[in-house]
Amino acid sequence: MSWTVYQCLEREIANRQMSENDKIDILDAYKACIDTLETLYACIRALERCGLPEEDPEYKKLKDTWSKANDAHDIARDNFDAIDRRLVR
């Protein structure tokens, strides 16, 4: 996880007028966004390095996993953006 950015976000919201629960929500949403991005990158690397033909069932499993990771990251990013707009901007 990008702790430097996480720590900057933590410092940025520390003195804002918002509840502790709201602060936790935005930090958790950011962490979920970064975690799902790391998973997505791992899936991309696995696909690039597997050396399997696209017709192979194992390649198709990797491709499905990549698709699910991509969807999860889209959801996490949208959630973070929504919380960020509501609380920070």
Please write the tens of the pLDDT for every residue from 31-71.
999 999 999 999 999 999 999 999 999 999 999 999 999 99
Q: What is the DSSP letter of 47?
A: H
pLDDT band at 88; cut points 50, 70, 90: confident
pLDDT confidence of residue 15: 86
Residue 2 pLDDT grade (very low, low, confident, very high; cuts 50, 70, 90) = low
Exposure string (b/e) for 6-41, b if CB count within 10 Å is 16 or more? eeebeeebeeeeeeeebbebbbebbbbbbebbebbe
pTM of the model: 0.84
Q: Report residue 85 as tokens.
A: 């707009």
pLDDT bracket for residue 21 (50, 70, 90): very high
